[in-house]
Structure 1
Amino acid sequence: MTFPLDHLVFTPNDVDLSRSPLAGQIDEETYVLGAFNPGMTRLPNGNLLLMVRIAEALRTPIRDGHVRAIRWEEGAYKLDPWPLQLVDTADPRKFMMRGGGWKVMALTSLSWLLPVELDPEGRRVEAVHYNRAIAPRASYQNYGVEDARISRVGHRYLMTSCSVSPERHSTTLYTSADAMDWELEGIVLDHQNKDMLIFEGLVGGKYWAQTRPLGDLYFAYPPDSEWRAGPSINLASSPDALHWKPSDHPGIRPHAATVATARMGGGAQPVLTNDGWLTLWHGVEPSGVVGVYRTYWTLLDKDEPWRTVATQHQPLLEPNPALTEPFKDQMYLDNVVFTTGIVDGGDHWIVASGEADLACRITHVPKQAIG
C-alpha cells in the first residue's frame, strides 16, 4: 500500500551529541546507533512532539580484550569492562553472558529520550529540545530509558517508557501538563512488562492500558484452537494511572492462521473512533536474527476493550528499505517497522514509527484504509 506521505523525519545524522546528557561524562567517543521508536502526541500549540529514543553507543566498544557497557550510577556515567571470553558479542546491540542457568545480557548503548518538535503534519522538524531531554535518574534506569509512548487523557499527558537495569526491566510513568516538562512518577509495571499503552480516554471511569508481559514459558492452546501460544497484548485498568490491575479478559492474541504474528506487542496508544478504540500493534514473523516486524490494526469495543470489533491479517505498514537506502552504511538491522504513536490528522492518521531501529518514520494513513 502506498501513502500520501511516508518519509524519515529524524535520523541519527540529526542528533548533536555535543548536547547529549552523556557529553563530557565518559572519556570515549560515542555515536548514535539509532534515533528511533518515537512516542508522539500533539502539543497545545498544534505542533507534533516526538519523544525520540536515542541509543548512544561507544564507537569502539571492544578494547584490550574487553567489551564495555555504559551504565549510569548516582548522577555519573561509567564504563563496565567484561572479558571477551565470558560473553557473546554476535548482536551489535548487546552482549550475552556465557553460562549460567538463565539469560543475562548487557547493552552496547545507553538510551535517552530527546523531544523533537515537528510541524502539525509531521513533514519537517521545527525544534529539537535538548534542554528537556530525559535521561536516567534512578537506579532502575541505569542502562537507559527506552521506547516512550504518550497518551493525552483529559488535560494531562501520560508517558510510559521501559527502564532498564540489573534490578529489573520495568515500565515507568512520566506525567506532564504540557508534554514538555515531565515528572517521573516511578515504576508502574514490574519486571519485563513491555509496550504499555494507555488508552486516550477513560473506559467506565477508569484508565485502561495495553500491556505485554514477557516470559520464556507459555501453555499450549488445544491443537484445533484459532490461537497460537506466545506473547500477547494484555489489558489492565487503574483508578489513577499509577496502580494497575490486570484484566481477567484476554486481549489481542497471536492467531494460528498466520505466522506473521507469531510474536506480537503494542504499538501506538489506542485512540477512540466512531467504530471503537483503534490500536496499532506490531507482529513479528520469525526470520533471521530478530524477525520481520510489521504494523497491524485492530478496533476494540469502546465499552469492553477486550472485545475485538474488527481486524485483519494483512499488515497496515511494512518495512520500507527505500527509506533507509541513503543510510545503508549506518544500518545494523533491516525488516523492522515498529509503530509507536498516532495522532488524528483530519481525513488521515499521522503515524509515527521506528524504521530499522535507526530512524523516525512518519506515515499519513488515509482513514478509509482502516475498517
Structure 2
Amino acid sequence: MNLLTQDYPAIFLDKHEPPCLSLYQPTHRQHPENTQDPIRFRNLVKEMEESLRKKYPSRDIATLLRPFENLAEDRTFWNYTADGLAVLSAPGLFRVYKLQRSVAELAVVADSFHTKPLMRIVQSADHYQILGLSRHAFKVFEGNRDTLDEIQSIEGAPPQTIDELLGREESDREGAHRAYSASGRPGAAARHGTDVKQDIRDRDTQKFFRAVDEVVLKHYSQPSGLRLILAALPEHHQPFRAISNNAFLVKETIDVHPDALSLDALRERAWQLMQPYYLKRLAGLVESFGAAAAKGQGADDLGEIATAAIAGRIATLLIEADRIIPGYIDAASGKIITDNLSNPDIDDVLDDLGECVLKTGGEVVIVPTERMPTETGAAAIYRF
C-alpha cells in the first residue's frame, strides 16, 4: 500500500518507461459487497491485456501483468479495501492506492499514467486532515465531505506516543532530579511535591506537543497541503497552538478527542467546519475565471488551452471531475489528437492538460460538474 499524498504529484509527472498501466475501480468496505471486488479487478486486468496485445509481445505482457495477478490473489488486501482503488504500473514501478472516494472502472494503457481520478482526490477543495491530540499520543485522519479514515502509517514517520518520542524514563529521571535542591536533598522547603509533579507534567506536555507539531508539519501537512483541524480536549488547544508553527492549522477546532466520537460523527463535525472553506474556494475560482476571461486572460476552448499549457502560460486550470475526452496533446505543437481509449497510445485530453499545467508550475483544481463555469470540461486562467 502506498500513500497518495506522499507520491503526488511527482510520481505521476516524472517520465516513466512505457507502457504505463492505470487501473481504477470502485471497492467496498463491507462483506458481502467486497467479494465482487477482486473479480472486477481481474476483468479490468484482462482489458489491459487486450490493449497491450495490440503493441507488445506476449512475453513482455506476462511480465507487465504479473504484479496485478499477485495483487488479485492477495486475500488480506481485498478484505480491507476502502471506497476505491487505483493501481499505477510501469517497468520497475508498481503503486497501489486505496481511495476514500469511489471511482469509475477504467483500465488505460498509454505512454503516461492516467491521473485525473487521483487529481480529483488530491486537488479537490473539500479535502482536509484532522490531528487527534492528547497528552500521551497523537493520530492523523484524512477525509472529505463523504469519508474519513485514520492514516495508519507513513513510511519514515517517527512514533506517535510521548513515551516513544521523548523517552519516558529519561523524562522522569530529569524531572525527579530537578525536584531536589542544590544540596541533593529533597527540595521540600522550595516546592510542594504536587507542584513539582505538575511542573514536570506541563514541561513534558509542551515538549511532546512541540515534537508532534514538527512531525505533523513535515510528514502530513507539507506533503498534502491540506487544511488541518485540531481535535482535542479544550485544555489542550491553547498549549498546542502556542508552540505550533503549522500554517495549515485552521482556527476552527473540535473540542473533543476523536476517541470519544464515532468516525462518522467526527467526519460530520469536521465537514461543518470545512464546508465554508470549500464553497468559498470554488466560488472564488469561478469568479476569477470569469474576470480573467473578460480580459482575454482566460479560455474554455480546449485547443486554445492546450497551446497555452504547452507554453507554460496557465496559472490555474479547472477540470470537470467526471469528464473524459479520449485523445492526447502533441507535445510539440499543442494540437489535440482524439482517438479511442482502447488504443495503447491514447489517454484523456483533460488528463494530459492537467499534467502539462502541473509540470509548468500551475495549479490544477478538479471541480464538480454542477459547479464548472464552462461546458467544455476545462477552464484556464492565464499567467500572462
TM-score, structure 1 as length reference: 0.25
The structure whose Rg is larger is 2
**Structure (1/2) with the larger helix percentage:** 2
Compare relative contact order (CA 8 Å, sep 6+) and give the higher one, 1 or 2: 2
